[in-house]
Amino acid sequence: MARTRQQPGVETSTRILDAAEKLVQRRGFNGFSYADIASELGITTASLHYHFPSKAALGQALIKRYTTRFTDELSAIDASVPTIVGRLEAYANLYASVLEQERFCLCGMLAAEYDTLPETMRDAVIDFFDKNEAWLTHGLEFGREQGELAFAGSAVDEARLIVGGLEGAMLVARPYRDITRFQAAAVQLLMGLRNTATTTS
């Protein structure tokens, strides 16, 4: 069937991003080359450079796509889950779904390599975590106002604890290839919020 010239280009760039994302989530940004992607996709490195002139450009595109997809998931959680406790559980499940694919959070992996990343990628990684913390902070503040949650300190500090706790739980669970380790840690991390709220209400 006849196709427009633009369709193959769009499809190829998406395939490149998909392959690169998998490689980053399993090996890290410094653990793969354009040759690895070209070999996996059966294309030339020249084709890769046509779509993404540099590895830094590819990395920035990866983070942008990952952040957009993640924030879309957060919006979907807001729209479909009525309780704050339920939203926090759904948030933790986003991380669990990545581990189920034997991968690691893209930006968590990049954070481990932060000092070696190009400046534009560093800024994009921070933006990802800033967006996560902002979403969590808003939910935590609302949950405390509604009496659904209770915690000491600021919502911002609690949000940072949740992000750090989930990323750390992923890291420890990864070498064991055991998602139940992550799930148990996530439950304990979030249960404290709910139990404290129940006790004080």
Residues with pLDDT less than 70, the chain = 1-10, 195-201
60-200, CATH topology level = Tetracycline Repressor; domain 2 (1.10.357)
Provide the residue ranges of all domains of the chain, joining segments of one domain with +: 60-200
Q: Cβ of 112: how many Cβ atoms within 10 Å?
A: 15
Which residues have a Cβ under 8 Å from the Cβ of 132 and sit 6 or more positions away? 70, 74, 159, 163
Say how far apart CA 153 and CA 192 lie, in whole Å.
Answer: 14
**For 108-141, how does the pLDDT look when each residue is reduced to its tens digit (9 = 90+)?**
999 999 999 999 999 999 999 999 999 999 999 9
Q: Cβ of 124: how many Cβ atoms within 10 Å?
A: 21
